[in-house]
Structure 1
Amino acid sequence: MASAFWCIVEDDRQGAPKKVMAEVLGAASRLGGGPVEAVWLTDKASEAGLKQLGEWGAARVLLLENAAFAPYRSEVWVASAAELAGKESPQAILAPVTSRQREFVARLAARRGVGLAADSVGFALEGDKLVATRPVYAGKLLSKVTWAKAPWVATLRPNVFRPAESQPGKTASVERPTVTAAGALMKFVERREEVSTGL
């Protein structure tokens, strides 16, 4: 669907979308510029996670589920997402600002040859254009930007956009498109998670 607004899913690496996705899906829904779709790259999606995306407003979930997507390596994600974007032609691609999405979305925009509005704090549709508001000069000023061509790609600053209200019982259609999982250029050695014990 050419006019879809994609929301790239940030998950907890255990098969569930993070709460920040309610903000991204809510922002996309309120714009009303096209169908809201969640794009989820993961090695293991849960039924509860898919249900949650529907209740937060996704009309369709494009589920790219492959062992190659974990651990995260940007070259693998970007190749698959760019291939899917070429087939689906979304109008916009939105994602939350996280360490993973910050890199991934920037590289995806570059691969598709379009601009990126990073760390956006507001959106408005003006005619047939999306206008993003983002801070500049260390937050001293706000700049309004738009795109020369679609897809409009942006990352959303967390805790700024009003989350979508959960709609219990609302479901999203789930599709599992076939894309090529590129070989990783980096070898994953180890992941360590440390718990802060305070001072």
Structure 2
Amino acid sequence: MEKRYYVVTYEDGTRKLFYDTWDNVEGIHHRKSVKRFDAKDKEEAEYFEEHGYRRLDKEIEDKKKKLKPNEAIIFTDGSHQNKNPKYVGFAAIIMTANGETQLKGCSNDSDIVESANVGGEISAIKMAVSWAKAHDLKSLSIYHDYEEVKRWVDDKDKANKDVAKKYVKFINQQRDDGMQIKFTRVPGHRGFKDNKRVDKLAQAAIPEPNEDMK
């Protein structure tokens, strides 16, 4: 078995880096609750050991340079703020070989507002995927903030609320129609520039209290 760099995260949140086979590393711990991250690149593993998440900035920039005509990189976010809690804002930044498109919107639908930022993120993803479909894009890399939007569609967790169930049905339909959709969680407030941009765009989508939509 090939040796790789493994970062083990313990129950107390501490992390330790190993260079070994996983069988040997796993044999040290004997605990199912221990989580692992593995990589061939030492720098990548060291970054994870220090920060607790993958170094996505370089990966994303590399992808931007290699985009094919039918591919897109998409950042999404939702926002629910005290300034006008009747609304949820949402936004998407879509990057293709032809350039960048920014989309934003807001909703006062009770199911979406009840789900707050999650409802906004779901709305942003559906908006972006619909745009991609209308522009005949076939392969989407979606970078999002809320972890469950990936887990629901990958059958890791069960969607219970109607807004989440509708979202799962929508994504599954696009995949059944041949669209490739990959989800990657970007930890919020970690300095990723595109994540910060889409966050501000989602916040700006919420109307001021004296400017409520008619």
Query: What TM-score do you get using the length of structure 1 for normalisation?
Result: 0.33
Determine which structure has the larger helix proportion and give its number. 2
Determine which structure has greater relative contact order: mean sequence separation of CA pairs < 8 Å that are 6+ residues apart, divided by chain length. 1
Larger Rg over CA atoms: 2
Query: What TM-score do you get using the length of structure 2 for normalisation?
Result: 0.31
